[in-house]
Chains A and B, each alone.
Chain A
């Protein structure tokens, strides 16, 4: 054997597969990663500090910018924490609207996750574009309701900003009828593909024990076979009135994480169907004083965002602005298991393992 020297490879911060500005400082032995050090902070905007200087209502758009791929799910823990803190009740219709929009957002986010995972795997943009085609339909629905396509500023403490317009429910119904067929088609094209199976099966295994110890959540945790979902574990909103399964993987490899995301989209469709059937009439917003001052105290609320358990810890000192607002970002915590999965893998595998965690740098760096 020839003696080879390890070398250091900087993957990122401007690398097409880092999904933002993330940097992996990898020590490579040829193609194999022997050590890896994640470096982040390139997208740090000081969101949590910014929030301390703005009123509660002004902060909602900021939460959109945490995980820009699933903005609605990011509003959610913030308004939940605030509602808990101030004891604001939410009309039933608004709760259902939140669930419908949140689950739509989950589908949109998972479509993007799978599309970019396939891109990392080297399928030249075809799955990506197909996933985007479906995602586009969902974004059309969002712009119907909120007027925006990416950052919606949709939730309010005490309700949601807009009720569904008249044309929304028929359009949603049409989407729900067609989407499962498309998902089945993509699944048939991808999940049985020989190259994809060879690339993903057994790659980047994360044991259930390790996943729990690393505080991993979301599809990454469930891919490892842990049946844990905030929507079931501590139901918020109206999730306890709705029926759904928690899909889990078996061995926690990249393929399991892919399958879990695929299955979660189907569950989301199921959830949206139920929610539209149960959707009550009524108002979508309870009255909240314009100059809103919650009582002194603190509250923590968490929701199941597409990337995992997204929590918001809110401390109020009784003024118009929060004293402290901290987010438990699932993507950030999921990254803590990255090193475990990457060491000893080949460069190509490392890229898809990283892709299968599906991070969003806006959330990691905040």
Chain B
């Protein structure tokens, strides 16, 4: 592993300067990535859908997100007369802040992080859950029934998917032996996706549900709830909620890249480039799924978490724990192929087992 100069908090000054500089950098990083993600998503979706996507504003439509933001910001900021004004104001902020806070413990470059907490994983799980309150509030405060349904769905979804998410992360933590993100990345001589394929699948799907991405985008549910939680928002607040959506995607892809794809590690290229590449790869898969799958119904979405993801995550956790206790010195190169085979077998068997739909159905002959 090549060594990189760590950007340490030994600034000429004190901890506050460090927090200020890195904090501002993180927010700037988030905003730039969000803009890039919006561009990637719109162009990518366009390609998936046999159309071009935005290509007028700037070269390759790169400035489209800016044009849209300018448009949104110049819109009238409407607050419904019967809305809960305080919560209506608070909701976008409450949704945005936790997303930024998650980034604080992610090493973008070895040493480049706001705080290297020794309880990083716990911190991420705790903070990322708070963002849901913001989304819930935004659905509730607008005093709109669609928004309220979206808010309730969001809450139900979070409660269901938080559990498999945590269990999937726990097995990673067992492998690392630490809750610190830095050590988690350092432990990935082999990316954990190879060692923990089942954990990766569970974590990825649960993340999709937590950030309300298709096929779990029940909170927005364009065709049912007419964009759900943010239905009453306009102007700056809507822009913030829109940014929150993509920030969540950014953070989700950062987390997947850090926990399972080896974070900033990789040969030749600078670490941050590797991290960005992995993030974009994860986000591409997210777009791919969005362009492919219809949306699940709410009971199906929750049932999927409790009936399928949770047992798989538990199974994965137990086997990981047993391996860690009884075969602690097993080479990764032995474990990885076995795990991948097991995961593939489990998924194929699972798919056979759980045929959706109803019985007594005969295929209609064309």
Contact = CB atoms under 8 A, between A and B. Distances in A.
B300 interface: yes
Interface in A113-143: 118-126, 128-130, 133
B291 interface: yes
B215 interface: yes
B364 interface: yes
A201 B224 contact: no
A7 B48 contact: no
B364 A249 contact: yes
Interface string B325-366: 000000000000000000000000001000111101110111
B206 interface: no
Given A129-B51, A251-B361, A262 B366 contact: yes
B50 interface: yes
Contacts of A262: 366
Q: Taking each of B225, B293, B294, B357, which has the highest tally of chain A beta carbons within 10 Å of its own beta carbon?
A: B294
B364 A260 contact: yes
A263 B226 CA distance: 31
B222 interface: yes
A-side binding surface: helix, strand, loop or mixed? Answer: helix
B298 A195 contact: no
Interface in B195-228: 214-215, 217-218, 221-226
A195 B296 contact: yes
Interface string A217-244: 0000000000000000000000000000
A121 B224 CA distance: 9
Given A15-B226, A122-B294, A123-B293, A130 B49 contact: yes
A195 B361 contact: no
A252 to B, nearest CB: 11
A259 interface: yes
B294 A7 contact: no
Contacts of A266: 366
Contacts of B299: 346
B49 A126 contact: yes
A366 B336 CA distance: 65
Contacts of B218: 348
A263 B294 contact: no
A53 interface: no
A31 interface: yes
B75 interface: no
A9 interface: yes
B223 to A, nearest CB: 5
Contacts of B152: 30
B80 to A, nearest CB: 15
Contacts of B225: 347
A349 interface: yes
Interface string A174-210: 0000000000000100000111111111100000000
A191 to B, nearest CB: 9
Nearest to B227: A16
B297 interface: yes
A107 B299 CA distance: 34
B293 A31 contact: no
Q: Which of B214, B290, B291, B361 has the most CB of A within 10 A?
A: B361
Interface in A1-54: 7, 9, 15-17, 28, 30-31
Interface residues of B, number: 41
A352 B366 CA distance: 22
Interface string B49-83: 11100000000000000000000000000000000
Given A193-B294, A195-B293, A122 B221 contact: yes
Given A125-B49, A247-B366, A16 B290 contact: no
Given A124-B290, A202-B358, A262-B366, A16 B300 contact: no
A267 to B, nearest CB: 9
Contacts of B145: 7, 9, 28
Contacts of B217: 122
Nearest to A223: B364
Interface string A238-278: 00000000011111000110011011001000000000000
A180 to B, nearest CB: 10
B355 to A, nearest CB: 8
B358 A201 contact: yes
Contacts of B292: 123, 126
A351 interface: yes
B295 interface: yes
A202 B355 CA distance: 13
A122 B366 contact: no
A122 B215 CA distance: 8
Nearest to B293: A195
Nearest to A355: B223
B149 A347 contact: yes
B356 A201 contact: yes
A219 to B, nearest CB: 12
A348 B297 contact: yes
A85 B362 CA distance: 45
Given A123-B292, A124-B291, A251-B361, 18 more contacts: A7-B145, A17-B223, A31-B149, A122-B217, A126-B49, A126-B291, A128-B49, A129-B50, A187-B366, A197-B355, A198-B296, A198-B357, A201-B357, A248-B364, A250-B361, A250-B364, A263-B365, A351-B224
Interface of B: 45, 48-51, 145-146, 149, 152, 214-215, 217-218, 221-226, 290-300, 351, 355-358, 360-362, 364-366
Interface of A: 7, 9, 15-17, 28, 30-31, 118-126, 128-130, 133, 187, 193-202, 247-251, 255-256, 259-260, 262-263, 266, 346-349, 351
13 contacts: A15-B226, A122-B223, A129-B49, A129-B51, A195-B356, A199-B300, A200-B357, A259-B366, A262-B366, A347-B225, A348-B295, A348-B297, A349-B297
Q: Sort A-B residue pairs by CB-CB distance and give the 8 closest, nearest first.
A: A122-B295, A201-B357, A198-B356, A202-B358, A129-B49, A121-B294, A259-B364, A123-B294
